[in-house]
Structure 1
Amino acid sequence: MKKMIVKGEQRLHGEVTIGGAKNSTVALIPAAILADTPIKFDSVPEILDVHNLMLILEAMNVKSHFSHGQLEIDPTNIENRPLPGDAIRSLRASYYFMGAMLGRFGKAVVGFPGGDNIGPRPIDQHIKGFKALGAHVEEEDNAVRITTGPEGLHGARIFFDMVSVGATINVLLAAVKAKGTTIMENVAKEPEIVDLATFLNNMGAHIRGAGTDEIRIEGVESLKSTNTHTIIPDRIEAGTYLAFAAANGDGVLVKNVITEHLDPFIAKLREMGVTMEINEDSIYIPGNDRLSPVTVKTSPFPGFATDLQQPITPLLMCAQGTSKIIETIYPKRIKHIPEMRRMGADISCEDGVFTIHHAKNLKGANVDAGEIRAGVALLGLGLMAKGTTVINNADNILRGYDRIVEKMRGLSVDIELLTVADNL
C-alpha cells in the first residue's frame, strides 16, 4: 500500500495533458478478447486497473504488453479458464469479462466484482440482458456461472429497467457475436460506450445508436483488428484538474480535452464565476476568481457526472457561501466526508444531499483514500490546507489517475509517494 504526502499551500501553475479515459480502457481491454487478431491501443492511462486487467488476461493465456501509453493484446491463443479471484475482486470493471467471455466462448465463470465501495451497484440488469440473449445464469460459490445451449446466443429486444453503464457495456459485448439482431433500449449514453462501439465497429461489428438511448446490434461471426485504437481523453481526469485549477491555481492549461464531454461541468464552473478560455481541445483557467455557491445534481450522461461529485468539492469550499450537491446515482458515496472534516472542512450529508460551506481554516491531517474519487478530492484539499496531509491507501488514487505524481510536478506541485514500509 502507498501513502501520499501532500504539502499544503501549494498552488498549481503550468500545463497538464489528459490521458486516455479510465472508464473506456477498463471496457476495451475485456472487449479485446472478442477479436481473432492481435489488438493495439494507444493513449492507455498508466493506472493500476490496467495492470490488474492484464493479470486477468494472463490467466486466460492472453499475452499483453504495456509501455508508454501503448497496450498490445494478443488473444489468438486464448483459453477459457477460471479468472484469478484477487484481480477480480480488486476492480469492479472485471465484470465486463462476463459479457466478453460469453460472446467468445458461449460460457463464462466470473467471481463477483470488487472495486470501490460506494454503495449498492447490483448486476441484475446485466443478468437480465444475458438471459434475454439465451444464456442460463447461476450464482454459486461467490461467482456467476453463465452458459448457453447448443444454439448459442441469439438476438433479442432488451429494455433495461434503469440506465446502467455497466449493463449496457456487458450486454453489448455478449451480443456483438450473437446470431441475429439485438435491440437494447433505455441504455446509457456515456462517451465511453461510444468509444467501445467505435472500436468494435472498426473490427467489423455492426453496432448503431451508441450515444443514444437505443442501440441496435447485428451479430457477426468474426472481429478482426486492422488499426490502432486511440482511447478518448478522460473527462473525469480533465474535470478534476479543472476544478483544482479553479480552486487553487495561478494559470493552468488543461490539454487533450473533448470539451463537449464536460458541458454540464463547465456550465457549473461558469455559474460559480470561474474564468475560462475554452479552445478546440484545451481549457485555460487563469485562477483567483471570486466564486459564488452553486447547487450540483448528478445524473447519467449528459448530466453532471457522479465521478466529479467529489473532485469538485474542494472548489465548492472556495465559494463565498453554502453549496449543495444532490447525489442521485450513488447517495452512499460519502467516504470523503469524515476525512475532510478532519482537515477542518465544514461539510455534511443527509439522504444523498451534501451541504458544503466556505472553508476558512483548512489544516493538514492524516486521512484515508477510501476510493478513487474520494482520494483525489483529499489531494485537492490537502494542497489548499496549511501543513502536511498524509493520504493513506493512496493506491486507490493510482487506480484511476494516470501518472498523477508526475503530472502534479508539471503543475509546480510537489507530492511524494511512499510505501507503507517507508518512514516518514
Structure 2
Amino acid sequence: GASVRTEHGYVEAAAARLRGSEILFDKITVTGTENVMMAAALADGRSVLQNAACEPEVVDLAEMLNKMGAKVEGAGTPTITIEGVRELKGTTHRIIPDRIEAGTFLATGAITNGELELIDCNPSHLSSVTEKLRETGVNIETTGPGRIKVRGSEDLRAADVVTKEYPGFATDMQAQYMALMTQAAGTSVITEDIFENRFMHASELMRMGANIRIDGARAIVTGKTRLSGATVIASDLRASASLVVAALVADGITVVDRVYHLDRGYEKIEEKLRSLGAQIERLK
C-alpha cells in the first residue's frame, strides 16, 4: 500500500496506512525481512513473509515486537505471519549478543595461538563458526551458560568454507576466516555464496604477505605465510576486522586506515584487545 519512488538518488516512501499482503522474497535478506516485519506489525490485516531470513536477529526483533503488542509468528522459519495491530506500546528488551563480534574474537584467539574466554555470548548462535574452527585444529569448549573458551593451535590446518544463510557459515565471518587461513598449513578454498565482490580485503592481506588468489566467487588461500606489517586500507566493516586480526600476528607495525568502518560493528575493540595483551592503539 505504499508509494515508493527514487528522487535525486534517494528512495522516498509514503503511505497513509499500510495493508497486509503476502511477500515472497526473491532472495533471503535479513534487513529486508526485518523492515517488512516491522511495517507489517502496524499494517491493516495479515501479512505473510515467504522465504524469510531465519537469523537470530530476526527472532530477537520479533520477540521485542511481540512484547510491544505486535502479533508475529514463525520468526526463525522461512514463513513469518504477522497480524497487524493499531498501535504498539513501549517495552524493555535486552538484545541478543553480537554473534559476529563473538566470532571475530574466536578467530583472534585462534590466529594468535592464545587462550581467551567469551562471556555473555550465545554458543548456539555460533555453531557454524565453532564447528569450522574445530576442523582447523582450534580447541573450543563451552564452559558454562553464555561462555565459550578458545585455545589456539600451533598446527592450524587449512579447511574449505562456503558462506551460507543462517544456520550456515556467515558471510560476515568470511574475511576474519580468510585472515586465519593465511596461518594454516595447506590450501583452503573460501567460496562467497552471499555477496558479490566481497573479497576486497584479500588484496590488503596480500600486501601484508598473504598468498591469496581470487577466482570469481572463490578465494584460494595457501599457508602458512609469514605476514609483515604494512599500511592497509579497510574497505568495509568485516574487512577492517580481518586486517586487525591479521595484524596481531604480523611482524612489525600495521596501520589500518579508514577504521570508521570498524566502529560500525565493534565497540572499543582496541581496548578489548589491549586487555588481552595486544599492542594496539587508535591514532587520532
Q: 2:212 aligned with 1:359, yes or no?
A: no
Contact 2:232 2:254 in 1 (8 A): yes
SS of the aligned residue for 1:229 comes to: coil
If the length of structure 2 is used for normalisation, what is the TM-score?
A: 0.96
Distance 2:175 2:253 in 1: 21
State the match for 1:249 in structure 2.
Answer: 113
SS of the aligned residue for 2:132 comes to: helix
Taking the TM superposition and a 5 Å limit, the aligned residue runs for 1:198-209 are 198-209=63-74
User: How far off is 1:250 after superposition?
Assistant: 2.5
Give a deviation string over 1:279-321, Cα, whole Å, max 9, x none: 3311112223422211100011111000000011221122110
User: How far off is 1:327 after superposition?
Assistant: 0.2
Distance 1:357 1:254 in 2: 29
SS of the aligned residue for 1:207 comes to: strand
State the match for 2:214 in structure 1.
Answer: 349
User: How far off is 1:262 after superposition?
Assistant: 1.1
SS of the aligned residue for 2:176 comes to: coil
Query: For 2:4, which of 116, 137, 160 is the aligned residue?
Result: 137
Between 313-322 and 209-218, the greater mean CA deviation after superposition: 313-322
User: How far off is 1:139 after superposition?
Assistant: 1.3
Gaps of at least 5 residues in structure 2 are none
Taking the TM superposition and a 5 Å limit, the aligned residue runs for 1:230-241 are 230-241=94-105
Aligned-pair identity (%)? 42
User: How far off is 1:135 after superposition?
Assistant: 1.4
Q: 1:222 to 1:342 in 2, by over 3 A?
A: same
State the match for 1:218 in structure 2.
Answer: 83
Higher normalized contact order (CA 8 Å, seq sep 6+, divided by chain length): 1
Give a deviation string over 1:300-357, Cα, whole Å, max 9, x none: 1111000000011221122110011100111301121111111111012111101111
Aligned Cα RMSD in Å? 1.2
State the match for 1:54 in structure 2.
Answer: none
SS of the aligned residue for 1:322 comes to: strand
Gaps of at least 5 residues in structure 1 are 1-133, 420-424
User: How far off is 1:361 after superposition?
Assistant: 2.3
Q: 2:158 aligned with 1:293, yes or no?
A: yes
Taking the TM superposition and a 5 Å limit, the aligned residue runs for 1:251-400 are 251-279=115-143, 280-400=145-265
Distance 1:360 1:217 in 2: 51
SS of the aligned residue for 1:254 comes to: strand
Give a deviation string over 1:112-150, Cα, whole Å, max 9, x none: xxxxxxxxxxxxxxxxxxxxxx1121111111222235x
Distance 2:169 2:118 in 1: 19
SS of the aligned residue for 2:186 comes to: coil
Amino acid across the alignment from 1:139: T
Distance 1:376 1:286 in 2: 20
Contact 1:331 1:351 in 2 (8 A): no
Distance 2:158 2:25 in 1: 36
Q: 2:57 aligned with 1:192, yes or no?
A: yes
